[in-house]
Amino acid sequence: MLPELLPGLDGVPKGRGPWLARQVADRSAVTGGAPGTDAAGAVVTVAVRLR
């Protein structure tokens, strides 16, 4: 079931990716760079059950 107002349809030009992944995945996680380092970026994990 999707809400009436989807992210990004309120005038914001981007940012729907993480929201959409949470809607279709069984599990999702976003973690930052490796602890104790200057690593920039993120690790995104999405799990979808295959039936």
pLDDT of residue 26: 92
CB 26 within 8 A of CB 49: yes
* Model pLDDT for residues 1-51, shown as the tens digit of each residue: 555 556 556 666 666 777 788 888 999 888 887 677 777 788 888 999 988
Please report the pLDDT score of residue 41 as a whole number: 80
Per-residue confidence (pLDDT) for residue 19, from 0 to 100: 78
CA distance 6 to 22: 13
pLDDT for 36 equals 73
Given a contact cutoff of 8 angstroms between Cβ atoms, the answer to whether 30 and 43 are in contact is: yes
Q: How far apart are CA 21 and CA 18, in angstroms?
A: 5
